[in-house]
């Protein structure tokens, strides 16, 4: 059953106004639509096996919980914002994978004081 679009907008405004239960009431209503957005993003990924749509929505949920100021005009604005956050999550994930491929997980060795005798010529 599709949620009432006006109900979503009302809950978004209550969340924006600081009502703590509004976010909890909102999540079950928007989850199916967010899951479809996430599935579309994952489907377009070069390697769709890296992340699942459910995991992407759950990561989004955690980021929404940490929102200091939720200022949504309406449900469309909220969905666009969520889609952008999902895209940023996928980009961050891809960057982390690239770091791993390039040896970024290797332990870094700090320069020691023994190397201080090397003088760089300023000329």
What pTM was estimated for this model as a whole?
A: 0.73
Cβ(26)–Cβ(13) under 8 Å?
no
pLDDT band of residue 113 (cuts 50, 70, 90) is low
b (16+ CB within 10 A) / e for 51-88: bebeebbebbeeebeeeeebebeebeebbebbbebbee
The confidence score (pLDDT) of residue 97 equals 74
pLDDT in tens, 27-63: 999 999 999 999 999 988 777 667 889 999 999 999 9
19: left (phi over 0), alpha (psi -120 to 50) or beta: beta
The tens digit of pLDDT for each residue in 61-112 reads: 999 988 877 788 889 999 999 999 999 999 888 888 776 666 655 666 566 6
């Amino acid at each position: 059953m599709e949620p009432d679009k006006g109900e979503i907008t009302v809950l978004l405004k209550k969340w924006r106004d600081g009502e703590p239960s509004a976010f909890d009431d909102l999540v079950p209503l928007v989850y199916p639509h967010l899951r479809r957005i996430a599935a579309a993003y994952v489907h377009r990924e070069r390697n769709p096996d890296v992340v699942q749509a459910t995991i992407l929505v759950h990561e989004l949920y955690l980021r929404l919980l940490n929102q200091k100021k939720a200022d949504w005009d309406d449900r469309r604005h909220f969905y666009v914002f969520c889609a952008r956050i999902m895209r940023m999550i996928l980009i961050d994930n891809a960057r982390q994978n690239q770091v791993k491929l390039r040896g970024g997980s290797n332990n870094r060795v700090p320069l020691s004081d023994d190397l201080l005798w090397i003088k760089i010529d300023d000329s």
